[in-house]
Amino acid sequence: YTMGVTLAAGYSLSWFKDTFTKGEDFATLLEEAAHSSIGANGLLFMPFIAGERTPYADAKIRGTFTGIDSSHTRRDFTRAVMEGIAFSINESVEIFRNYGKNIDTVISIGGGAKSDQWLQIQADIFQAKVIKIQNEQGPGMGAAMIAASGLGWFSSLKDCAAAFIRTGRTFEPIPKNVKRYRDFYQVYKDVYPHTVAINHQLFDLREE
């Protein structure tokens, strides 16, 4: 069992909504973001608003919007947040692949799985098929499956999963999007090493 952690994944979008678009729903924000371009018109978001664990394990790093200019609108900022979260998760995916793991399928659950647009972004950034499951109770469902299998109700976890899990729509990577996101991802990975010292200084200067 291996895992990677983005401390503020869905929370980054919730923070953005509550801070800058209070009173509006997520559906409106995500619909706007669909009208921005891949790479959010050249805007990158680093989702380090609560520090980070993977791959940096850095309690002092903080989030940034990089590349802001006067052409950017709210839809670009929203899309940048969505893409930044996926880029962050992709750093864990990349680590697994560098250690020889073959990752060709991803099962997406939680808030990020409610938006077809976000699922397509994930597929394009992860360069993997992304499957949406019908039941959103991921951790709880997993615990129930382990218990059911442990009680001998099923001959194997595989048979248990076949009975419990119902898949929904599948999202395949779009080659032209994959190429664009690969370029933006390389820039994304450069932001941390170029801002870490500044963020640490700012953290230490904050009032108690």
Predicted confidence (pLDDT) per residue in 57-76, tens digit: 999 999 999 999 999 999 99
pLDDT in tens, 9-66: 999 999 999 999 988 999 999 999 999 999 999 999 999 999 999 999 999 999 999 9
pLDDT in tens, 91-122: 999 999 999 999 999 988 877 778 899 999 99
The SS3 assignment for 132 reads strand
Average pLDDT, the chain: 93
Residue 96 near residue 24, CB atoms below 8 Å? no
11: tokens are 């929370």
Is 70 exceeded by the pLDDT of residue 208? Answer: no
pLDDT in tens, 127-145: 999 999 877 667 788 899 9
113: tokens are 């799985």
In whole angstroms, give the CA distance from residue 47 to residue 85: 6
pLDDT of residue 168: 84
